[in-house]
């Protein structure tokens, strides 16, 4: 079996075009969605992510505001920026690029963003709403993965989904969103014994481990759908996933590449969440 390629880049572009159309209509009605991104310090990977977010926001016809702060910024200074953005009517989404320098308290920063503008979906209130199935901002990476599955007609209900990874930003919300769509969900993590025994039961396998090419064909059931969240550098410095693409594409029925799979969807869903927030703030229902 040779796997179908799940084209996140193409699907992301389609959704971005839909968003741009929506934004045009909103702007005509005097409502321009605005996203503010705070970047603390000069981590090169974070700077690249932020630049890509800014580019995508502007390309969608939205307003982008980047606030760059030096790495010595204090917790109180950072919180004060967040509070100002909470009060700013031109801003509908606030994103603080993580990770923050070690001396800063991420949890407190996330809790300070008003849940109404928490387009990353990390605020405990929004996480709680997501878990009990109330409308809220969904965490962008798992939300993007659900879109990928739905837009490629992958059946979720009744399937066994195995998620490797239990971080607050990817693994945990991923399992919850799959559960809400009636999958039977198993979480695996670094303390899971016999990982391959678990993953070989997956109809849908989501890998969010952060270890280059760790999951090869020996972990995958014939015909499974494999979603690779990983963004790592291989021994030659080339971007690669957590999945050994060349071996897994031979056994899976569908697979996301890296790059061009999950990555482009994350930014796309951030734009979607921001537009949703703007609609709410402007009182323009869909
Ligand atoms: P974390 O490091 O926060 O979490 C990794 C998870 O993998 C943990 O739950 C950990 O278990 C588990 N794990 C680590 N080693 C093993 C192992 N040997 N066997 C089984 N489980 C293991 O990472 P993130 O969730 O933030 O990110 C995961 C990957 O996804 C990274 O490569 C990251 O760069 C990428 N990423 C990509 C995004 C995109 O847009 N494409 C967005 C966000 C992340 P334990 O909890 O026990 O420690």
pLDDT digits (tens, 9 = 90+) for 138-171: 999 999 999 999 999 999 999 999 999 999 999 9
- Looking at the fold, whether 255 and 144 belong to one and the same domain comes out as yes
Read off the pTM.
0.97
**Is residue 201 annotated as part of the catalytic site, yes or no?**
no
CB of 55 closer than 8 Å to CB of 270: no
Could you give the CA distance from residue 56 to residue 24 in angstroms, rounded to a whole number?
15
Q: Is residue 276 one of the residues assigned to a domain? A: no
Q: State residue 1's pLDDT score.
A: 73
Domain span at residue 230 reads 140-263
Let me know if residue 277 belongs to a domain: no
Relative to the CA of 164, which ligand 1 atom is closest? Answer: 21
**Of 286, 277, 284, 266, which is closest to residue 63 (Cα–Cα)?**
277
164 and 257 fall within a common domain: yes
The ligand 1 atom nearest the CA atom of 210 = 32
Is 131 part of any domain? no
Domain count along the chain: 2
State the binding site for NADP(+): 165-167
Indicate whether 152 and 104 sit together in one domain. Answer: no
Q: Are residues 109 and 146 in the same domain?
A: no
The answer on pLDDT for 222 being more than 90 is yes
Query: Does residue 148 lie within any of the structural domains?
Result: yes
How do residues 237-268 score in pLDDT, each as one tens digit? 999 999 999 999 999 999 999 999 999 999 99
Kindly list the distances between the CA atom of residue 174 and the CA atoms of 11, 135, 141, 168, 222, in Å, as whole numbers in the listed order. Answer: 19, 16, 8, 9, 22
| Domain co-membership, 201 together with 256 | yes
Co-location of 175 and 102 in the same domain: no
Tell which one of 166, 173, 189, 257 to mutate to probe ligand 1, the residue whose CB is within 8 A of the most ligand atoms: 189
Query: How far is Cα 66 from Cα 45, in angstroms, rounded to an integer?
Result: 16
Q: What is the mean pLDDT of residues 61-82?
A: 98
Could you tell me the pLDDT band of residue 90, with boundaries at 50, 70 and 90?
very high
Q: Which string of DSSP letters, residue by residue, matches 155-192?
A: --TT-EEEEE---TTTHHHHHHHHHHTT-EEEEE-TT-
Query: Which entry of 7, 16, 53, 249 is annotated as an active-site residue?
Result: 53
Residues 97 and 52 in one domain: yes
102 is an active site residue: no
Residue 149 maps to a domain: yes
The interface predicted TM-score (ipTM) is 0.99
Distance separating alpha carbons of residues 166 and 55, to the nearest angstrom: 30
Instruction: Judge whether residue 285 has pLDDT over 90.
Output: no
**Which of 7, 117, 118, 120 does the annotation list as catalytic?**
120
Does 194 have pLDDT greater than 90?
yes
The residue whose CB lies within 8 Å of the most ligand 1 atoms, and thus the one to mutate among 141, 209, 231, 269, is 209
The residue among 98, 114, 130 that closes a domain is 114
Domain CATH code at residue 100: 3.40.50.10860
Please give the Cα distance from 25 to 10 (Å, whole number). Answer: 23
Q: Assign residue 175 the CATH number of its domain.
A: 3.40.50.720
252 and 181 share a domain?
yes
Whether residues 110 and 175 share a domain: the answer is no
In the predicted model, is pLDDT for residue 286 greater than 90? no
In a domain, 36, yes or no: yes
Together in a domain, 181 and 237: yes
Answer whether residue 18 is part of any domain.
no
pLDDT at site 47: 96
Residue 189 Cα: closest atom of ligand 1 = 21
Residue 268 lies in a domain: no
Task: Kindly give the distance from the C-alpha atom of residue 261 to the centroid of ligand 1, in angstroms, as a whole number.
Answer: 16
Q: What is the dihedral of CA 273, 279, 282, 286, to 10 degrees?
A: -170
The residues lining ligand 1, judged by C-beta closer than 6 Å to any ligand atom, are 141, 164-167, 169-171, 188-192, 195, 208-211, 229-232, 242, 262-263, 266
**Are 49 and 89 found together in one domain?**
yes
Would you call 53 a catalytic residue per the annotation? yes
For 202-215, how does the pLDDT look when each residue is reduced to its tens digit (9 = 90+)? 999 999 999 999 99
Same domain, 108 and 182: no
């Amino acid at each position: 079996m040779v796997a179908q390629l799940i084209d996140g880049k193409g699907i992301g572009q389609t959704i971005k075009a839909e968003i741009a159309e929506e934004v045009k209509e909103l702007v005509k009605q005097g409502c321009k969605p605005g996203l503010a991104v705070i970047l603390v310090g000069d981590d090169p990977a974070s700077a690249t992510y932020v630049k890509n977010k800014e580019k995508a926001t502007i390309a969608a016809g939205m307003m982008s505001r980047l606030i760059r702060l030096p790495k010595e910024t204090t917790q109180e200074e950072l919180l004060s920026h967040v509070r100002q953005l909470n009060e700013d009517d031109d801003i509908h989404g606030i994103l603080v690029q993580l990770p923050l320098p070690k001396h800063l308290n991420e949890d407190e920063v996330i809790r300070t963003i008003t849940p109404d503008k928490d387009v990353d979906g990390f605020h405990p209130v929004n996480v709680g709403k997501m878990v009990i199935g109330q409308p809220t901002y969904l965490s962008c990476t798992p939300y993007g993965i659900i879109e990928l599955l739905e837009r490629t007609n992958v059946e979720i209900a009744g399937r066994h989904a195995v998620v490797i990874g239990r971080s607050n930003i990817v693994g945990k919300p991923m399992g919850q969103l799959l559960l809400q769509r009636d999958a039977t969900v198993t979480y695996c993590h670094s303390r899971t014994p016999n990982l391959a025994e678990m993953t070989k039961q997956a109809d849908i396998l989501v890998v969010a481990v952060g270890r280059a090419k760790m999951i090869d064909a020996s972990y995958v059931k014939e015909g499974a759908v494999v979603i690779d969240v990983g963004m790592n550098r291989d021994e030659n410095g080339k971007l690669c996933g957590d999945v050994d693409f060349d071996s897994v594409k031979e056994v899976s029925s569908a697979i996301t590449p890296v790059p061009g799979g999950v990555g482009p969807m994350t930014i796309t869903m951030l734009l979607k969440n921001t537009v949703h927030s703007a609609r709410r703030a402007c009182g323009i229902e869909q």
